[in-house]
Structure formats: C-alpha cells, structure tokens
Amino acid sequence: MTDWEAVIGIETHVELSTNSKMFCSCPTEFGDEPNTAVCPVCLALPGALPVPNEKAIEGIVKIGLALDCEINERSLFYRKNYFYPDLPKNYQISQYTYPVCEHGSLDVDVDGEPTVVGITRVHMEEDTGKSSHIGDGGGRIQDADHTLLDFNRAGVPLVEIVTEPDITSPEQARAYAAELQRIVLALGVSDARLEAGSMRFDANISVRPVGTTELGTRTETKNVNSLRSLQRALAFEIDRQIRVLEEGGRIVQETRHWNEDTGVTTSMRTKEESEDYRYFQDPDLLPLEVTKEWQDEIRATIPELPAKRRRGFLDAGVDVETAGVLADDDDLSRLFRDAVAGGATGRTVGIWLTGEVIAYLRRQEITIADTSLTSGHLVELGSMVDGGDLSSSAAKEVLLAVLEGEGTPGEIADARDLLQVSDTGAIEEAVDAVLAANADAVDKIKSGDMKPFGFLVGQVMRHMGGKADPKVVRSVLEQRTGS
Ligand code: ADP
Ligand code: MG
Ligand code: ZN
C-alpha cells in the first residue's frame, strides 16, 4: 500500500472595491439593471483606449506589501487571448512576466502548527462580464435555450494572488484562505464576500507518494463559494485522485467543478496550457511604474494586520481562540484594548467580550455602537470583581444590564443588590455564629476531617444572604478552625 500526500496551490481572485473600473471610468457600484455601467472601453468598441486606475494599483500594492512581496517598480500589462461571450474584447488584460508583486509569503497556523505559504505572484487584471444560461439546463451552457449577458462587471479591477504549491492539507488550505480574507478586509480594498464572488478561490491539487519530491499531475477545482466548500472540495479531490491512481489509472490535468449539493467535483474542461492564451504585451498600455516613493506612501496607509493584532491580544493574556474572535472585530478590538489600557485584566475582559457581549449583540442583531457599553464600564466591572465586591456570575448579570443601558456597573450592582460583602468584620460575625451552632463539624475539622468544611462555607453564605465574598468566607473559616 502506498501512502499518499497532498500538494495544494491556491489561486485567489479579489475584486477591488474601487469607485470606477480598471481601465475606464464606469462605476463599479451597480444596481440590478444589466448593461448600464458600460462604455466604449469596457464594451471593447473599436478605437477605445484603456487607462489604468490609480486606486486599483494602490489596492494591489497594499495586498502585495501585506503579503511581504517585492513590488516591481516597473510591471507590464499583457493580453490573455481567449474567446468567450462574456469577454467583449476576446482578450483579458492581465499580467504575465513582471507582475506588480512577486515572492511573498503568508504564515498560517492550523491547531498551533505554523506553516509558511509562499506567494508566487500578485498580479492585476480585469473581471469579465456575467453570463446567465437560460433554459432547462440548470444554468449549464450546453443545455441552455439562450444566454443573457451583463457587462456591468466587465472591467472591474481584479487582483489574482497565486501561492506556491506549499499547502499540504485541506485544513491548511482553509486556514490560508481565511487569513487572506481577513487581510484583504483589514486593508479595506475589497468587501471579500465569498458567497457574492468578490473573493473566489481556485484550488489546485495533486497527490504523490509520501517521500517523493516530484509533483503529480494536478487538477484545478472552481466554484468553491465558501471556506467550508474549499476544504470539502479538496478533501474530495484527494480521495478521488488517490482512488484513480490506486486503480492503476492516471490523473488528467483538467479544470473541475465543485458541486456544493452533491459534494463531488466533476470535469469541466481539460486545462489550457498558458501557451494556448497567446500572451503578448498589450500595445495599448505603457509599462506601469510604481516608484519607491509611491510604494512608501502606500505602505504608510497600511493598517495593523490581523496576525499582529492577534499577537497583541495573546500578549494581553487571552487564549488563541479568543484572540482570533476579538481580532476579527474592530469594535471589540478597540474596547478590549482601551479596557486593558485602563487597567482591566485581559483574560476577564476577553471572556466577557467574546462570551456575553457577542451573544447579546447576535440576539439583538445590533452592533456595539448601538449599546451604551464603554471600555470604562469594563474597567469598573473588572475592578469590582477583582476587589471581591461582585461574584463572577453577578458580573455577567451586571454586564448585560450595562448593555441594556441601565447605567454604570456600580449603579446597577447597587440597584439590584448584587454587591458582595468582603468586609471581614461582618463575615467574622457570621462565621462565629455558624461555628457556635455547629460544634460537631468544628470538632471533625479540628481532628483533620475536612468533609464538613464546604457545609460550613454554605452556612455562612446563607447567613449573609448569599452576599459574602466566598474567598473571604473560606479564609476566615480556615483561620477560625485552624485548618
Ligand atoms: P496556471 O497559470 O496554468 O493556472 P500555475 O503554474 O500558475 O498554473 O499554477 C497555478 C497554481 O497551481 C499555483 O498555485 C501552483 O502552486 C499550483 N500548482 C502548480 N503545480 C501543481 C501541482 N502539481 N500540484 C498542486 N498544485 C500545483
Ligand atoms: Mg491559473
Ligand atoms: Zn467602461
């Protein structure tokens, strides 16, 4: 029996959310009316000339810098020639040699196992139009009665990010894709919506016997519209390829289509080799210059990236999962930081924000801004718990009331009579009363049998109407019984 290992490389397309298209001034924000955001350039009327969109170039450079790429000061636009009805020019303007960004990397982590995924290139291209195949064929071109074309999307700036074949499992592929999506969102260059297609993954995969280094023949799977489908599609493809090879067959280099409902991939078309596209430099476009000065200006606008943000949260004492949840949310991140800066304990605030607060926001379908919770409230609440004035379960009740706008933690704890007594005098009195009434229990404890200790704690709490700080009760009891 051969043991197999998977080799995976991912191509990601990201639609940039610029105001206008890549090579013309048509808007990218369009309503439902097809073919309204079009002009001679994106409809490829004879004589119309493309002009690159500066904001789009800034967007791709941001992505490249965030992925630790080298930015080419001079890059070239090529024509990628193929015929399809949604491509009015019969070529797509893309890049080939000298893309804007090359040789980057992205660190991903699966269950604490770090891997570095090499980024081969990040290049600039333009999106195609959208075809709808009408008829009984379930949207498939071969069974359609006719096809409708909408060119509103034609020419929208598209960034392609290509990895080295460094990924070794579907889980890692998912982690890579998720991290890339977080980065794109943090950069604010795209809405990166997988279900809407503004971020799309093509999953290249091959298998080979463990211990060999030569790459096997790969397939490329399209139509994965969520992180979960990316993982599922790859897992399916690994099994399928291994089965084919073990039955003595061979893998055909082809493009396959993931079907979310059936959970299988099917062959779409045999894969074109790049020679088939007759790439040549676009004579309508000059070389693109991204000077060092411009790169520096763009670098200065890059916000804190998710990985760095997570590291900061880990350093503030939260666990990996909590750090991830906090970092994905700007409002929660800000509250967390401000609360910790104000003296609150990171671990406690992290638990509140990712527990009670998120659950509350989801229930009410609102955001932090719709509530009156401030970092000051978190600091106050934290110090009440640390100071023994509030039990941790009472703190959660108070937190919900703060979210509801009932007041500050102090006011709420007071109004709801939730404050604990940690004043030792009052507790000592209660302890003495309880000990006097339970001489048997005291004798047992004094002779080394600790069983009744919990019972005594409970009695003192009862005596105090449940409002004593149990820590103080325990320590007074220990003193008094000499245990
Ligand atoms: P193309 O431009 O034809 O799509 P590329 O050579 O640019 O092909 O590779 C596309 C993606 O496929 C890259 O992410 C690359 O890492 C990955 N890839 C290439 N060869 C293999 C292979 N044998 N197995 C798995 N992935 C591969
Ligand atoms: Mg490709
Ligand atoms: Zn246009």
- CA atoms of 474 and 322, how far apart (whole Å): 32
- CA atoms of 463 and 429, how far apart (whole Å): 10
Indicate which ligand has the atom closest to the C-alpha of 241. Answer: 1
- CA atoms of 389 and 408, how far apart (whole Å): 15
- CA atoms of 141 and 339, how far apart (whole Å): 56
Ligand 1 neighbour 6 (Cβ under 6 A): no
Q: Beta 254-259 vs 219-224: how paired, if at all?
A: parallel
The contacts of residue 269 (CB under 8 Å, 6+ apart) are 254, 255
Ligand 1 atom 17: residue of nearest CA = 9
In this prediction the pTM is 0.85
Q: Beta 101-110 vs 146-150: how paired, if at all?
A: unpaired
For residues 203 and 220, the answer to whether their CB atoms sit within 8 Å is yes
Q: Which residues are paired to 289 by β-bridges?
A: 74
Ligand 1 neighbour 215 (Cβ under 6 A): yes
pLDDT (tens digit per residue) in 271-311? 666 678 999 999 999 999 999 999 999 999 999 999 999 99
Which pLDDT does position 271 carry in this prediction? 64
151 φ, ψ to 5°? Answer: -95, 10
Q: Report how far Cα 357 is from the mean position of its chain's Cα atoms.
A: 20
Q: Over the range 352-371, which residues count as b (16 or more CB within 10 Å of their CB) and which as e?
A: bbbebbbebbeeeeeebeeb
Residue 317: burial class (beta carbons within 10 Å; 0-12, 13-18, 19+): middle
Indicate which ligand has the atom closest to the C-alpha of 218. Answer: 1
Å from CA of 285 to ligand 3 middle: 16
Ligand 1 neighbour 232 (Cβ under 6 A): no
For residues 240 and 207, the answer to whether their CB atoms sit within 8 Å is no
Ligand 1 neighbour 75 (Cβ under 6 A): no
Calculate the alpha carbon distances from 142 to 134, 147, 221, 331 in Å. 10, 10, 20, 49
Indicate which ligand has the atom closest to the C-alpha of 216. Answer: 1
For 424-481, the fitting CATH number among 3.30.230.10, 3.40.50.720, 1.20.120.1760, 1.10.10.410 is: 1.10.10.410
Domain ranges of the chain: 4-298, 306-415, 424-481
Q: Which residues are paired to 222 by β-bridges?
A: 257
For residues 151 and 42, the answer to whether their CB atoms sit within 8 Å is yes
Q: Which of 233, 232, 276 is nearest to 256 (CA)?
A: 233
pLDDT beneath 50, residues of the chain:
none
pLDDT (tens digit per residue) in 185-227? 999 999 999 999 999 999 999 999 999 999 999 999 999 999 9
Residue 30: burial class (beta carbons within 10 Å; 0-12, 13-18, 19+): middle
For residues 53 and 93, the answer to whether their CB atoms sit within 8 Å is no
For residues 20 and 26, the answer to whether their CB atoms sit within 8 Å is yes
Instruction: Give the ligand 1 atom nearest the CA of 162.
Output: 14
Of the CA atoms within 13 Å of residue 265, those in its CB half-sphere come to 31
Indicate which ligand has the atom closest to the C-alpha of 160. Answer: 2
User: 């080939």: which residue's tokens?
Assistant: 96
Task: List helix spans (H) across 320-469.
Answer: 320-327, 330-341, 346-352, 358-364, 375-386, 392-403, 409-415, 424-437, 439-446, 452-463
Ligand 1 neighbour 80 (Cβ under 6 A): no
Ligand 1 neighbour 121 (Cβ under 6 A): no
Q: What is the 3-state secondary structure (H, E, C) of 370-392?
A: HCCCCHHHHHHHHHHHHCCCCCH
Ligand 1 pocket: which of 125, 162, 242 to mutate (most atoms within 8 A of CB): 162
The residue type of 252 is V
Which pLDDT does position 274 carry in this prediction? 66
Q: What is the dihedral of CA 354, 360, 364, 366, to 10 degrees?
A: -40
Ligand 1 atom 15: residue of nearest CA = 9
- CA atoms of 94 and 13, how far apart (whole Å): 12
Q: Which residues are paired to 13 by β-bridges?
A: 160, 200
Which pLDDT does position 338 carry in this prediction? 96
Ligand 1 neighbour 171 (Cβ under 6 A): no
- CA atoms of 453 and 475, how far apart (whole Å): 11
Ligand 1 neighbour 99 (Cβ under 6 A): no
Which pLDDT does position 251 carry in this prediction? 93
Instruction: Give the ligand 1 atom nearest the CA of 164.
Output: 16
